[in-house]
Amino acid sequence: MKIPFYKYQGAGNDFIVLDERTQTYSLSEQQIAFLCQRRLGIGADGLMILRNKAGVDFEMIYYNADGREGSLCGNGGRCLTRFAYDLGIRPPVYSFWAVDGMHEAFLNSQTQWIHLKMNPVAQIENYQGDWILNTGSPHYVQAVEEVDGMHVVKAGRAIRNSARFTQQGINVNFVQQTASALRIRTYERGVEDETLSCGTGVTAAALVFAPKQLGKHRMQVATRGGELEVEFTRIGDHHFEHIWLCGPAEQVFEGTITLND
């Protein structure tokens, strides 16, 4: 079976993208995991499928690098929006369906950044001095003094596999607050490794470290793969709406791969 594919990245978070508007490939969990392997397959943090869906511009199906269908991927949603744009699907504002429901997105013509609207967040749990929240995917946020020198895989894996989280898993974010921006490194479940960027993790960090004043805010977040911004309106202590994840998304290459049936 020959499969045409595209490779996209958003702030270093990279994805294999398939166009299933006219053909369905029905890949197994093992085949998806193989495609995402960096030495034996194409290599990616995940695989996404763009499908037609009535009432919206497209549907987003997302699989983690382990081959299992995942929760929302923020950078993935931005990359799939860019993919739709490159395919010639070009409404002023996109509407698409993802695993956590409806989303909107648009291309900023000046910056060429993709802005993705996230669902509201109304709960942040304080947990042993750290924070837990869901921004489309579950996230654990820990404040650190200096993020660059951390052994993120070791520390993240220990939290992700601790008694509370071992069954469902959780993404683990280590965040350093500076005068001008947040600096973040993330251990992602499903990849079971550090990724260069995580959109839902960046969003989670921005909300945890948001200014206490109610109203509109914009926070800059530096990842190992690039800069992102999160815009939002603070409604209450743990209540945020009108959340937009903003950043670059671009095609890296395209090709065809042959898979055994």
CA angle 130, 247, 25 (to 5 degrees): 95
Among 64, 60, 31, CA closest to 188: 64
Entry pTM: 0.96
Q: Which pLDDT does position 260 carry in this prediction?
A: 82
2-109+249-258 and 125-247 agree in CATH topology = yes
Residue 76: in which H helix or E strand, if any? helix 74-86
- Tell whether the model's pLDDT for residue 261 goes beyond 80: no
Beta strands in the chain (DSSP E): 2-10, 13-19, 46-51, 58-64, 94-98, 101-107, 114-118, 125-127, 130-134, 138-143, 171-177, 182-188, 193-195, 215-223, 226-236, 239-247, 250-258
The CATH-assigned architecture of domain 125-247 is Roll (3.10)
Q: Class of 2-109+249-258 per CATH?
A: alpha beta
Q: Check residue 102 and give its pLDDT.
A: 97
Q: Where are the domains of the chain?
A: 2-109+249-258, 125-247
pLDDT value of residue 165? 97
Quote the pLDDT of residue 71: 95
- Give the β-pairing of 171-177 and 130-134: unpaired
Residues belonging to the active site:
73, 198
Structure token digits, residue 44? 């990616």
Kindly report, residue by residue over 167-223, the tens digit of the pLDDT: 999 999 999 999 889 999 999 999 999 999 999 999 999 999 999 999 999 999 999
What pLDDT band is residue 235 in, cutting at 50, 70 and 90?
very high
- Hey, what are 69's tokens? 């269908």
